[in-house]
Each structure stands twice: as structure tokens, then as C-alpha cells.
Amino acid sequence: MSAIPSPSSPPAPPLSTRILGIETSCDETAAAIVESGRIILSSTVASQVDLHAQFGGIFPEVASRQHIRTVYPIVETALQQAHLSLGDVDAIAVTRGPGLPGSLVIGMNVAKGMALGSHLPLIGINHLESHIYSAWLSWPPVPEGAGQELQLKPEPRFPLVALIVSGGHTELILMEDHLRYQRLGGTLDDAAGEAFDKVARLIGLGYPGGPAIQKAASTGNPRRFAFPRAWLEDTWNFSFSGLKTAVLREVRRLQAVSGSQLVADLPVADLAASFQEAVVDVLVGKTLRAAEAFHAEEILVAGGVSANKALRDAMVAQANCPVHIPPLPLCTDNAAMVAGAGYFRFIHGQRDSLDMDVLPNWPLSEV
Ligand code: KG4
Ligand code: ZN
């Protein structure tokens, strides 16, 4: 990948730089067009959730086949909804990793083909970086020529502490400037979203587990079960596998007491609420402590789990500084965030070659 100059002195971008973003890292096929890293002109997402729900989780082979079917129509739709053609776009940004190899290559090859055919610059984007840049985006989309007055919310200010919580990652990052990431810590075992998905399966809720647990928890008592919080003192790391095991043990104990093996007989709402509160306590507690320790001006939360209402409410209520959490449609995987991150990389001079390959295990600290 090409080196980028220091982020402190970006060259002046052309007015209204438009980036086409393409995202196929996991089980959503998405395309979007974003202007100046902040204004979404269009954002289309084809979710494969229903396809994978029958397997109780993501089936990688099925995911890549579905991306092949969907990706071109999705890109077409993104251009149409923005009232633009490819000639109106300044660059193509595509998710390079981390993610499922078979899924990543679909978006990457489409992006390469389009860049080659239209002579547009190509920019490979780290998926975690794109989640971070979702905090710069406005919502809802405003197509070109729609003539709406747009009130942009304030941009996040540095230094900031970013908590990225998704199905595959739980990371605490210090950002002193654009495109600069210092990894403070991360999960030692399960990602937060993975814990939601696994516990949901355990107590008979569907896939994806996060929204299902949130719904069940809304009528439950979060104090009923005292599930453990792994604070891992003196580190910025997280661990959720012990919590998952504690829920499993409680389920077994309840089943032994009731004599019923049916998940329907479990106090699902109380289990979900108690589990959710244990996750939220640790995510919020450690993020706030990190923000204080590193004198962060602001906090940023992103990734699929940032859609969780309990997490959003607790973070905002307990923080002593502004908290940026994307609107719900931008929390889970989408391509607007890829185009948004692509803009900041574009104006700092990044251009990738057509030899670029996907990086399924690409840590943010190595971006
Ligand atoms: O960022 P994302 O869409 O994909 C990855 O990059 O992994 O995150 C998906 C994860 C899943 O584990 C899903 O259960 C979780 O985000 N999630 C939630 C909620 N919505 C999605 N977790 C908790 N509460 C939610 N409302
Ligand atoms: Zn994601």
C-alpha cells in the first residue's frame, strides 16, 4: 500500500469530493456515495441475515455466493439513488480487511474492475477504521440536487478514545489525529457482539443475537442474576468468555431446578437483561476510565453493538465529555462508513494499486 503523508497538513481537497464505497467484509453487501467524508448521498445495504438465520450464524460459503449475486445491483442502486453516474465520482474505496476472505475478495475485485474501467483511484480501507469514520457522517442520505438544507453535527475532536464493538472485534483505541490509531487494548477472547450472539443462542433467541437480547432484556430484571464482570485491572483489555460460561451454568442450574430442558421455560427476559447489563457495565466503565487516563476530549463508540440502547444510554449518561455514537443504520456494517474513511485517506494522498490483495486479519494498529 502507498505511504500517506502526515495527517496534520492535508492538501486542500477539491470541493465536494465524492467517494464510492463498497463493503462486503461479512454478511452485508453494501454500496454508498459520500461527499467530503460527511454527507451521504446514498447508502444501500443488502442484508443476508435471513439467509444465515437458518444456520444460527454466518455460513461463509453462502455469504460469498450471495455477495456475487448482489454486489453489482447494489452499486447501481447507490449511484441511482445519489442521482449520479460513475463519472461524477472521484475515487472508489473498498473494504480490504479484516473480514471473511471469501466475502472480502468479491468487493475487492468489483472495486478493482470499476477502478480499471473508469480510471478512478482505488483505496483499500480497514473495516475497523471505517466503523470509526461512521461518526463523521450525517444521516439520512441527501441525494445530489435534493436541495435540502443540511445541518451537519459537530465533528469528533481529538484526542478521542474510540470503543469499537462488533461481531468480530472489541477494541479500545486512542486517536490523537485523523488516521492515527494507538491500540490501548481489546478482547482476549470473545468479541462483545459474539458474546451477544452466543448467549442469545443459549437462551433460545434467534440470530443475530444482539437485537434479540436487547428486545428480550427490555422487559427483564437486570439485577436478578449477578453475572461476573471481568475488569482485568491495570489493562485496557476485555474478556467475555467467562460471562458467557456463567450464563451457561445458570441456565443448567435453572433447568435442573425446574426439571425442564425447554428454553421456553427459562426466565429469558431476566437472563437477557442481567447479561446485557454485565456487558454494558464493563464496556462503559473501561471506556470512561480510558478517556480520563488519556485526557480525551471526546468518546466515540462504533460497530454493530453500538446499536445497543442500554450501551448508548449508559455511555451518554455517565460520560463527562461529548459522546459520538452513529445513528442506528450506520452502527452495523454499511458502505457509507467505507466511503467516509475513504475520503480522509483520499485527501491525505493514499492511492492503492490494482495489485492490492485483501487482508482478512488486518489489525487497525497496522493500518
Ligand atoms: O459491525 P457489525 O455489523 O459486523 C461486524 O463487523 O462484526 O456487528 C454485528 C454484531 C453482531 O454480533 C450483532 O449481534 C451485534 O453487532 N448487534 C448488537 C445489536 N445490533 C447488532 N448487539 C447488541 N445490541 C444490539 N442492538
Ligand atoms: Zn463491522
With a cut of 50, say whether residue 5 has pLDDT above it: no
307 C-beta closer than 6 A to ligand 1: yes
270-324 confidence digits (pLDDT tens): 999 999 999 999 999 999 999 999 999 999 999 999 999 999 999 999 999 999 9
Q: 28-35 and 18-23: which strand pairing?
A: antiparallel
81-95 confidence digits (pLDDT tens): 999 999 999 999 999
The ligand 1 atom at the shortest distance from the C-alpha of residue 208 is: 14
When the pLDDT of each residue in the chain is averaged and rounded to a whole number, the result is 94
Kindly give the distance from the C-alpha atom of residue 253 to the centroid of ligand 1, in angstroms, as a whole number: 28
Kindly give the distance from the C-alpha atom of residue 145 to the centroid of ligand 1, in angstroms, as a whole number: 34
pLDDT confidence tier of residue 139, bands split at 50, 70 and 90:
very high
168 C-beta closer than 6 A to ligand 1: yes
211 C-beta closer than 6 A to ligand 1: yes
Beta bridge partners of 22: 31, 94
333 C-beta closer than 6 A to ligand 1: yes
Mean pLDDT of 158-174: 97
Kindly give the distance from the C-alpha atom of residue 221 to the centroid of ligand 1, in angstroms, as a whole number: 22
The ligand 1 atom at the shortest distance from the C-alpha of residue 192 is: 12
pLDDT confidence tier of residue 4, bands split at 50, 70 and 90:
low
Give the pLDDT of residue 189. Answer: 98
Task: Please name the residues in contact with 176: beta carbons below 8 A apart, sequence gap of 6 or more.
Answer: 158, 159, 182
326-357 confidence digits (pLDDT tens): 999 999 999 999 999 999 999 999 999 999 99
Kindly give the distance from the C-alpha atom of residue 131 to the centroid of ligand 2, in angstroms, as a whole number: 7
87 CA to centre of own chain:
29
**Whose C-alpha lies nearest to ligand 1, atom 18?**
210
Distance CA 252, CA 246 (A): 10
Task: Please name the residues in contact with 182: beta carbons below 8 A apart, sequence gap of 6 or more.
Answer: 173, 174, 175, 176, 365
Kindly give the distance from the C-alpha atom of residue 52 to the centroid of ligand 1, in angstroms, as a whole number: 14
For residue 235, give the C-alpha cell: 489493562
- The amino acid at residue 53 is A
**Of 157, 188, 152, which is closest to residue 170 (Cα–Cα)?**
188
Distance CA 24, CA 60 (A): 12
Radius of gyration of the chain (CA): 21
The ligand 1 atom at the shortest distance from the C-alpha of residue 131 is: 1
Kindly give the distance from the C-alpha atom of residue 306 to the centroid of ligand 1, in angstroms, as a whole number: 8
Give the pLDDT of residue 50. Answer: 86
Task: Specify the pTM.
Answer: 0.94
The ligand 1 atom at the shortest distance from the C-alpha of residue 191 is: 12
CA atoms within 13 Å, Cβ hemisphere of 272:
26
304 C-beta closer than 6 A to ligand 1: yes
**Whose C-alpha lies nearest to ligand 1, atom 3?**
332
Query: Of the ranges 102-111, 144-153, 236-245, which one carries the lowest mean pLDDT score?
Result: 144-153
